[in-house]
Amino acid sequence: MTSQERSWSIDAASAQAVTKEALDAAPVGLLVVDASGMVLNVNRRFLALANRADNAKSPVHLSDFDHALEVPTAPGEHDMGAAGRLVWTKLASDGWVGTIADRRSSTRSTPPGTDSLTGLGDRDSLPDHYDGLQEGEEFYALYLDLDRFKRVNDTLGHDTGDALLRSAAKRMRSALRSVDFAARFGGDEFAALIAGPLDEQEVVAIADRIIDKLSRPFLINGTQVLVGASVGLARSDGQGFEEVLRRADVALYESKRRGRGRATWYAPEMMTALEDRRKLEHGLRRALVLEEFVVYFQPQYSLGSKATTGFEALVRWQRPEGMMQPSEFISVAEETGLMVKIGNFVLDRACSEASQWPEPFTVAVNVSPLQFMDEGFVASVKDCLSRSGLPPARLELELTETLLLNDVSIVEGRMRALGEIGVRLSLDDFGSGYASLSYLRKFPFDKIKIDQSFVREPLADDSARKIAAVVASLGAELGINVIAEGVETEEQLERLRSQGVGAVQGYLLSEPIPANEVAGFMTEWNEKARLKEPS
Amino acid sequence: MTTTTSERLLRVAYFSLNAIKLPRDQAYREVDLILETSQTNNARCGVTGALLFNNGAFAQILEGPGDAVEETFDRVQIDDRHHDVTVLQTDWVEGRMFPNWTMGFAGNDEAAAIHYAGIADRSSFDIESLSASDLATLLGEIAKRNEMKARAA
């Protein structure tokens, strides 16, 4: 028997019954009318959505519906108010089919207060749950977000991200007790109300269990996906629900700052610190507008040519209250994304200053990972060069090891693009972070900058000094220039010289100086030749 | 015919450390319980595989339709009886390595105990030293032996 024969073997009546059943099972409201508006078919969901009880007299014509329905003249939408939007499609047989996407089904038929993706509660459901608690009943708020979730979404796509969130919700739920309430606030943010009374260790145990389960591998579309979780905890303490939740959020922020993958209790000083950071952020935004940032320059001295060959541009924040060092504001600038703007400002100032210097003085500019990964980075380098007229070979960009942890193909592509322009690239703070020798092979660096921790006592112990020597010879082998930063004493200088380091920078030569002192430094310095040469 | 994700088979191999610190016989009973539940669960959704267990660690291979394997894997992750899960391999494969063997337990297999004395005597598997394919071979051999025993019985 062929499949065609088989399909004909069902009698017409039962075929119709199957069709009706299928239509009724469809997750959309469906109505079929002929050109005059006579109803040819209508499913149960359409009747329910159009406010007609299932057992009411079956509508015969469009006008039988509660809503003012008319035979459409063209395909399009018709607003049916609370029922949703009726979409008309023309049939080849001159009739029309109307569909209504059930609003409730578009949110996966989830009851109100439920997060449609995960089935946990949603943001709005949490206060309701709180209201259900007995007056004065002790509870704990847990605020959580997934570590590295954004990377999953960016690299594996939103479908994978959504699947991960669904699994994560299940795991979180499984780590909680039945009396606890879990909700998703959107994105990768989750919260829970943990019912008391419990002692603090018991609450931490619950949080740790959640973190443990979310840190275990996920398997999505045949791929292993690894994330983690950070948690903030706060106790009720007689505070209102919203305040407790806010405190847990503040504690979560602290967990993330301390390196993620951990639970942290709220402490009042966190709120103060957060307030300080907010003020700092506000100050930074204002500083950008008011141009309160100034660029200082620290000389770099070549031990080979026995001369200052260039300067590193260093940003300072000249506030009305006084000068602020980058170490005090960089982390906030990074966190808030303001670093991109600040970095571009420094780059622009540095190029324009350096273009006034005689050949062949170079300028080295620090580039934060955030700034480098910004899509417009290469273009803004080009802009700065063309605006200032600085020859590209005299601009050196100092990149950090942490940058190299980003998407390798993007980083490498950008480095090549910059290389093609003729800009020099140096690897800053080498050895201070994730130093890997493979970076030197994989990425086209012109220079390595040995981190001051390998140069300057008391940081540099004997083995650190040996590492500096190895890096120097490594650079020589690879044909990459090596410069040491943080040189403060003649002794350090002599050691680095004997180790074969090609250039130095540090307070021994000069502290960073304002732009208007650079020209004076150049002449004065070369006359004085302050650095003693071994006789 | 196009091959969709659900038609291909997903094979996952992983290790995890045993969180049940029980006397040996009680631990065995606990694992029997795990096996029993997973056998019923997994047979229903078309997941087969192999489990190797000793007092310190689990090593497991799951095979089946992607969705089902992922669901099973997720269920396993929620289990408090183990931790430190390390995925060794995830692969889309054409056929099953363990088609007739829903789940098996190597811990009370005498021959296996003798054969893998080096592993069994230690408190945990040396995760670093066993690759995914080593594990597959190892579990495969146990499966074969179990089948032969079953046929003989």
Q: What percent of chain A has pLDDT over 70?
A: 89
Which residues is A449 bridged to in the sheet? A483
Neighboring chain B residues of A219 at a CB cutoff of 8 Å: 12, 69-70, 73-74, 87, 90
**Closest CA relative to residue A509, chosen from A315, A357, A291, A310:** A310
Instruction: For A476-485, write each residue's pLDDT tens digit.
Output: 888 899 999 9
Q: What percent of chain B has pLDDT over 90?
A: 6
Query: From the list A216, A220, A222, which residue is nearest B77 (CB)?
Result: A216
The minimum CA-CA distance between A138 and chain B, rounded to whole Å, is 27
Range 261-300 of A in CB contact (< 8 A) with B: none
A42: left (phi over 0), alpha (psi -120 to 50) or beta: beta
**Residues A37, A63 contacting (CB under 8 angstroms):** yes
Query: From the list B66, B74, B87, which residue is nearest A170 (CB)?
Result: B74
Angle at which helix A326-335 crosses helix A339-354, to 10 degrees, equals 130
Query: From the list B5, B70, B92, which residue is nearest A219 (CB)?
Result: B70
Q: What angle do CA A46, A52, A56 make, to 5 degrees?
A: 115
Neighboring chain A residues of B74 at a CB cutoff of 8 Å: 167, 170-171, 218-219
Q: What is the DSSP letter of A38?
A: B
**CB within 8 A of B9, min separation 6: which ones?**
B63, B64, B65, B66, B92, B93, B94, B95, B96
Please count the other Cβ atoms lying within 10 Å of the Cβ belonging to residue B70: 24
Q: Do B90 and A223 touch (CB under 8 A)?
A: yes
Query: From the list A174, A222, A224, which residue is nearest B92 (CB)?
Result: A222
Q: Do A171 and B78 touch (CB under 8 A)?
A: yes
Q: Does A219 touch chain B (CB under 8 A)?
A: yes
**CB within 8 A of B89, min separation 6: which ones?**
B11, B12, B13, B132, B133, B136
d(CA A83, CA A110): 16
Q: Does A177 touch chain B (CB under 8 A)?
A: no
d(CA A108, CA A161): 18
The arithmetic mean of pLDDT across residues A409-433, rounded, is 90
pLDDT of residue B110: 52
The minimum CA-CA distance between B8 and chain A, rounded to whole Å, is 10
d(CA A54, CA A99): 17
Neighboring chain A residues of B12 at a CB cutoff of 8 Å: 219
Instruction: For A464-515, write each residue's pLDDT tens digit.
Output: 888 888 888 988 888 899 999 999 999 999 999 999 899 999 999 999 999 9
pLDDT of residue A21: 79
**Closest CA relative to residue A59, chosen from A88, A43, A39, A78:** A39
Instruction: Give the C-alpha distances (Å, rounded to integers) separating B76 from A170, B65, B81, B104, B138.
Output: 12, 16, 9, 16, 21
Please give the model's pTM, rounded to 2 decimal places.
0.59
In this structure, what token pair is assigned to residue B150? 């079953």
The minimum CA-CA distance between B78 and chain A, rounded to whole Å, is 6
H-state helical runs in A195-325: 200-215, 241-257, 268-290
The arithmetic mean of pLDDT across residues A15-22, rounded, is 79
Q: Do A220 and B5 touch (CB under 8 A)?
A: no
The minimum CA-CA distance between B66 and chain A, rounded to whole Å, is 6
Beta strand pairing status for A362-366 and A395-399?
parallel
Instruction: For A323-351, write each residue's pLDDT tens digit.
Output: 888 888 998 998 888 999 999 999 999 99
**Residues A142, A126 contacting (CB under 8 angstroms):** no
ipTM: 0.70
pLDDT band for position A524 (50/70/90)? confident
Interface of B with A (CB under 8 A): 5, 10, 12, 14, 66, 69-70, 73-74, 77-78, 80, 83, 85-87, 90-92
The arithmetic mean of pLDDT across residues A428-440, rounded, is 77
Neighboring chain B residues of A223 at a CB cutoff of 8 Å: 90
Residue A401 pLDDT > 80: yes
The minimum CA-CA distance between B100 and chain A, rounded to whole Å, is 22
Neighboring chain A residues of B94 at a CB cutoff of 8 Å: none
pLDDT of residue B128: 44
The minimum CA-CA distance between A2 and chain B, rounded to whole Å, is 20
Neighboring chain B residues of A220 at a CB cutoff of 8 Å: 70
In this structure, what token pair is assigned to residue A420? 């093609």
Size of interface A-B (CB pairs under 8 A): 43
Handedness of CA B33, B34, B37, B39 (dihedral sign): negative
